[in-house]
Structure 1
C-alpha cells in the first residue's frame, strides 16, 4: 500500500510541522506516490511503544477458570492495544510463587498461545521472575531459551517484613486461595522461600550472566533503595522499572542505568501505593520511558497531563512513550516519524483527544471516526 497524509500537523523532534507524510509498504517514505488523504485538523504522531504492561491479564482470565483458549483473549488484547495507539507492546507475564495466572504453568501456557497468535500489534514478551524461586532457576532459563524471550525482569514480592516478625502477611488467605493452595500450605511456602534469602544474590548473579550472554535484556522491578539498585546494576541489570524513591531513580541514572516509570502514576498525580511521584522524577530529568503498567489508556493520558501541567512540551513528553522505550528495547526502526522508519503512527483529534487511527508497519490496526470517513468516504 502507498498513501500520503496531507495537511496534518506532524510531530517532530522540535514540535509540530505541517508537512505531508508518505507511507510505502511498511515504511515511511517521503517519495511515496499513493492516494492523498486530507488530514486537516488532525495530529499525526509516532505510535506508542509500551515497554511494560500487564493490562492483558483481564482478557486472559476475566474470572478464574473462565477462559480456556488464551489465543481468543489475545485477539481482544490486540484490539485494545490498537485503540489506544500502541503499535509495539511488551506483555509482562509473571513467573511467580503467587500461582494462578502468575504461576509457572500459566506462564508456559501464555508463551505457547502468544507464539501462535496472529496479532496486528507487534507484541514482545517480558517474563517477570521472582528471585527467590531458586529451584526454578534452571527451568526458567530453559523456558526463556525455548520461547526466545527477549526481556526478563526480576521481582521480589515476598512479604519479608511480616515473615521476619513471624506474622501472617496481610491479605494472606485471599492470596493463598488465588494460588490454589490452602492458607497453611501457602504460608509454609513463603517461609521456605524467605529462609533461603542468603543464597539468592549469588544464584541471581549467575542467572543474569547466563541470560545476558544470550542477548536477553534485563531489568529489576520496584527497587526500594539506591543500594538495592546498585546491587542489580553490578549484575548488569540496567533497566529499573518503577524505582520507589527519587533517590533510587537518581542513583540509577548516575550509575548509567535507565529509569522506567508507570504512566498511571502520572495520570493519578502520584503513586497509588505511596511511592515517589512519577511527575517529580520526570521533572528532575531522570525518566527514560513511561509504561502503561496496568492500564493501556494511561500512555496517552500521561503525556497529555505532562503537557497540561507544563512539565514538558509535547515533543519531549512524547519521547517517553515512543523513541525512549524503543531505544531501551533496541528497536531502532521505530519511535519517530523520520523517513525510512517503520510506519508506526497514530492520528489524533486534538479537540476530542481521541485516537482515531493506529498504523503498525504500514497497516491500520485501528480506524474510526472522522479519519475513517476521510479514508473510506
Structure 2
C-alpha cells in the first residue's frame, strides 16, 4: 500500500538542480500540493531513485556456494532488500544464458527468471530481467527465445566470452580447470565445447542476423557488451542492437555517441578510477561526454558512490552526476515514468544524509523500501 506524505525541510533534487520546496507523494506517484501527513526532513536531501540498467550482484544471494542453496525466492527477497538499501528503486538483473554453464547456464537462468516472476509483485523495488546471451551459443537460440517469451523479458544483451585467440593458436585457455568445475564439466569436456563453438564461428553472423530480426519484431530492446571497434558497433547497429554496454575503447564509445546510441558504463570502474580488465577508464569516457548511464555491474553500492565521485573530480555538477544513475538509465530502458522528481512520475525517492551522503531511507513506487537510523523517528513522530 502506497503512503501519502508531504516531505518538507529537505533539499530536493529537481531536473534543474536543488530547491527547497516540499515533495508530496500519493497513490504511488509524486503529486502537486499537500496531501496530509507532513514529515520534517531538515538536514536531509531528496533525490530520484536509482535506476540500475545492468547488475549481477544478485548472484551471491541466489547461489552463495555452488550447490549450497536452492531457495531461490528467499534469495531474491534478499536481493530486493539490498537494492533498496543502496538507493536502487528499479533494477535490471543481468542473467547470463551461456555455454559456460553453472550460474551462467540456461538451467540456472530459468531459476532466476522464475524467482523474479514470483517475487517482483511482492516487493517495492521494481525488479526486471536482462538476458545476457552468448553470441556463439547458437544451438540454444531457440530455447533462449522461448524463455524470453515465457517470462516476458524485453531486454537482451550479447556477449562473447570465448577465448578465440587462444583457441585459434591451439593453446589451453587460462583458468580452464576452475571454469570447468563451475560448469560441472571435466576440463577436457569444457575445452572440447569451447573448441567446437569456436570452430563454428563462421555460422554465427547469419544466426545472429535472424535471431535479432525476430527479437526486433517483438519489440525487444537489445544491446552489445564490450564493444571494441567502430566497425563492431556498426555491425550490431545493422542488426537493431542499439545499446552499447561497457565499451572497452574510446573509439567504440564515440561511434555509439555519433550514431545517437546510448552508452552504459560501470559504476565500479568510476569508483575505482580504472577498469579492472585494463580497458578504457569510465572516468575518461565521462569526461569526454560519452556516458548516458552508470550501472552497478557487480556491486550495488557503486552507482550512488560513482555519482558523487564524478562531482568530487569536477567532471560535472551534482544534478548532472545523479542523472547518470537515475534519469539517464531510465531513458536507456525507455521508462518515461521515473528518474526525475516531478508530478505524475513514480514516487521513487532516496532520502540521503546531507553531511555523510549515506542513504537513510528509500521509497519505491510510493512504498517504504528501506529505512534505518534516526530518520525513522522523523517518519513515525
Q: Deviations over 1:99-151 (max 9, x none)?
A: 10110111111111211113221011000000101111111111111111010
> Out of 187, 192, 199, which is 2:196 matched to?
192
Q: Does 1:346 align with 2:359?
A: no
Aligned to 2:257: 253
> Out of 316, 320, 328, which is 1:316 matched to?
320
Q: CA deviation at 1:229?
A: 1.1
Alignment of 1:93-108 (within 5 A): 93-108=95-110
CA distance in 1, matches of 2:72, 2:124: 16
What is the DSSP-based 3-state SS (H/G/I as helix, E as strand, rest coil) of the residue aligned with 1:210? helix
Q: Does 1:63 align with 2:65?
A: yes
Aligned to 1:77: 79
Aligned to 1:155: 159
Alignment of 1:44-59 (within 5 A): 44-59=46-61
What is the DSSP-based 3-state SS (H/G/I as helix, E as strand, rest coil) of the residue aligned with 2:89? strand
Q: Where does structure 2 lack aligned partners over 5 or more consecutive residues?
A: none
Q: State whether residues 59 and 76 of structure 1, in contact with CA within 8 Å, keep that contact through their aligned partners in structure 2.
A: yes
Q: Does 1:205 align with 2:247?
A: no
Aligned to 2:333: 329
CA distance in 2, matches of 1:32, 1:328: 32
Alignment of 1:265-304 (within 5 A): 265-304=269-308
What is the DSSP-based 3-state SS (H/G/I as helix, E as strand, rest coil) of the residue aligned with 1:369? coil
Q: State whether residues 2 and 32 of structure 1, in contact with CA within 8 Å, keep that contact through their aligned partners in structure 2.
A: no
Q: CA deviation at 1:32?
A: 3.5
Q: State whether residues 125 and 365 of structure 2, in contact with CA within 8 Å, keep that contact through their aligned partners in structure 1.
A: no
> Out of 171, 176, 181, which is 2:175 matched to?
171
Q: CA deviation at 1:31?
A: 2.0
Q: CA deviation at 1:347?
A: 0.5
Q: Does 1:18 align with 2:20?
A: yes
The alignment's TM-score, normalised by the length of structure 2, stands at 0.98
Q: State whether residues 126 and 149 of structure 1, in contact with CA within 8 Å, keep that contact through their aligned partners in structure 2.
A: yes
Aligned to 2:36: 34
The alignment's TM-score, normalised by the length of structure 1, stands at 0.99
> Deviation above 4 Å: which 4+ runs of structure 1?
none
Q: State whether residues 261 and 287 of structure 1, in contact with CA within 8 Å, keep that contact through their aligned partners in structure 2.
A: yes
CA distance in 1, matches of 2:40, 2:376: 12
Q: Does 1:43 align with 2:45?
A: yes
Alignment of 1:140-151 (within 5 A): 140-151=144-155
Q: CA deviation at 1:277?
A: 0.6
Alignment of 1:121-132 (within 5 A): 121-132=125-136
Q: CA deviation at 1:227?
A: 1.4
Q: CA deviation at 1:330?
A: 1.1
Aligned to 1:231: 235
Q: Deviations over 1:299-341 (max 9, x none)?
A: 0110010001111101001111001111111111100001111
Q: State whether residues 289 and 320 of structure 1, in contact with CA within 8 Å, keep that contact through their aligned partners in structure 2.
A: yes
CA distance in 2, matches of 1:155, 1:69: 28
What is the DSSP-based 3-state SS (H/G/I as helix, E as strand, rest coil) of the residue aligned with 2:290? coil
Between 161-170 and 132-141, the greater mean CA deviation after superposition = 132-141
Q: CA deviation at 1:13?
A: 2.1
CA distance in 2, matches of 1:134, 1:7: 56
CA distance in 2, matches of 1:137, 1:15: 45
Aligned to 1:92: 94
